[in-house]
Amino acid sequence: MENSKVLQEDFEYILNSEVDFNKFKNKTILITGATGLVGSLLVKTLLYANETRNYGIKVVALIRNKDKADKIFKEYKKENLSYLIANLGKNEIEYSGEIDYIIHTAAVTQSKLMIQKPVETIKTAINGTEELLNLAVNKAVSSMVYVSSMEVYGQPYITDKVKENDLGYIDLTSVRAGYPESKRMCELLCTSYSSQYKLNVKSARLAQTFGAGILPTENRVFAQFARSAVNGEDIVLHTEGKSEGNYVYTADAVKALFFLLLNGESGEAYNVSNEDNHMTIKEMAEMVIANFAKNNQQKVVIDIPKENLGYAPDVKMWLSNKKLINLGWEPTISLKESYRRMLDNIY
């Protein structure tokens, strides 16, 4: 059973939400990227549901590293958890059992890797997603969700809130463009499989997702801010912090993915974001210092390096979540509360 009180509260929040978890009883659900932040929380939610509600859900976790997975899931009973060890996109997936649902979260998520290994970033995304789509067709799954990213929007052409059909400009001469462009292609593969093979698959464009459940190895900006605050250090920005961030709390994102499995329309894409959790990187840094700093000497410092380390270009974008809310999903956790719950869970 999960030891963390904060995560237990999050799982209860998800299981008592607008998602009808009764429909997952005694089903088999494949989660890819199961040792990542979102993937691991999807798996833990299902295992928690089994332990507290006897749902009998069989969870298949697609991973690359068994030792890492064992550490992440060490507090849970394993009888309904099995590992599928494979490198996505290399036709290594072998699974003889039935699969009812798939949530595909696996992807390269580190900006430095996107710069250092752009070819692998693209191939893993496209070949891996094709592999999962073929598996979904062969297993005749009830539903599949592909986890995309808000980065597919690039630089939007509009100044209003960005809806799902408001795709913007991506500079194809930028090496880092391999990530958002391959995400676009993966979404198009999903649309194509929906059309040609009648596969019930939809895409979820996640805003920046964080909160309770981040892993000790997490090094994205929200984790860096949190560590700096509680360690009594200044928050150092390596850009001017003008990019506008769109955020969603981990539990709100997890329930959105389960909700889309059951309610999303095939071939469609949905923004998963909390419109209230929108601010610039600098504003977020200042909010963290104001609310969570260890002492009143801490501040936000801007230190821009000479060389480009893979930072995404400044983005001016406010994601609309109306399409998903109109389906019946509702995010409720604020940005400040997201940080509080994340910090309470770590420290």
Q: pLDDT at residue 168 above 90?
A: yes
Q: What is the pLDDT of residue 312?
A: 62
CA separation for the pair 33, 215 (Å, rounded):
13
Find the mean pLDDT for residues 225-249.
93
Q: Is residue 285 a part of any domain in this protein?
A: no
Of 13-27, 82-96, 116-130, 208-222, the one with minimum mean pLDDT is 208-222
Q: How far is CA 171 from CA 19, 127, 316, 342, in A?
A: 38, 22, 16, 34
Do residues 47 and 59 touch, judged by C-beta distance below 8 A? yes
CB-CB neighbours of 240 under 10 Å: 12
Q: Is residue 111 a part of any domain in this protein?
A: yes
Q: Is residue 341 a part of any domain in this protein?
A: no
Query: Residues 31-60: pLDDT tens digits?
Result: 999 999 999 999 999 999 999 999 999 999
Angle at 201 between CA 199 and CA 202, to 5 degrees: 155
For residue 302 the two structure tokens come to 């801007």
Find the mean pLDDT for residues 276-297.
95
Residues above pLDDT 70, as percent of the chain: 98
Phi and psi at 9, nearest 5°, equal -60, -40
CA separation for the pair 326, 212 (Å, rounded):
27
Q: What is the pLDDT of residue 315?
A: 73
Do residues 58 and 29 touch, judged by C-beta distance below 8 A? yes
Q: What is the pLDDT of residue 247?
A: 95
Phi-psi sector, 158: left (phi>0), alpha (psi -120 to 50), beta: beta
Q: Is residue 304 a part of any domain in this protein?
A: no
Query: Residues 101-153: pLDDT tens digits?
Result: 999 999 987 888 899 999 999 999 999 999 999 999 999 999 999 999 999 99
Q: Is residue 185 a part of any domain in this protein?
A: yes
Q: pLDDT at residue 1 above 80?
A: no
pLDDT bracket for residue 308 (50, 70, 90)? low
Q: Is residue 311 a part of any domain in this protein?
A: no
CA separation for the pair 201, 141 (Å, rounded):
9
Q: Which residues contact 149 (CB under 8 A, 6 or more apart)?
A: 107, 179, 180, 183, 205, 206
Which pTM value belongs to this model? Answer: 0.94
Q: Where do we find the tokens 């969603």?
A: 248
Q: What is the pLDDT of residue 110?
A: 80
Q: What is the pLDDT of residue 309?
A: 60
Do residues 39 and 31 touch, judged by C-beta distance below 8 A? yes
Do residues 239 and 281 touch, judged by C-beta distance below 8 A? yes
Query: Residues 258-284: pLDDT tens digits?
Result: 999 999 999 999 999 999 999 999 999
Q: Is residue 97 a part of any domain in this protein?
A: yes
pLDDT bracket for residue 221 (50, 70, 90)? confident
Q: What is the pLDDT of residue 2?
A: 80
Task: For CA atoms 194, 161, 311, 220, give the dihedral sign.
Answer: negative
The range of the structural domain enclosing residue 74 comes to: 5-211+247-275+317-335
For residue 311 the two structure tokens come to 């930072």
Find the mean pLDDT for residues 230-239.
93
pLDDT bracket for residue 198 (50, 70, 90)? very high
- Give how many domains the chain has, as a whole number: 1
Q: What is the pLDDT of residue 342?
A: 94
3-state class of 20 per DSSP? coil
Q: pLDDT at residue 196 above 90?
A: yes
Q: Is residue 253 a part of any domain in this protein?
A: yes
CATH code at 178? Answer: 3.40.50.720
**Computed over its alpha carbons, how large is the radius of gyration of the chain?**
19
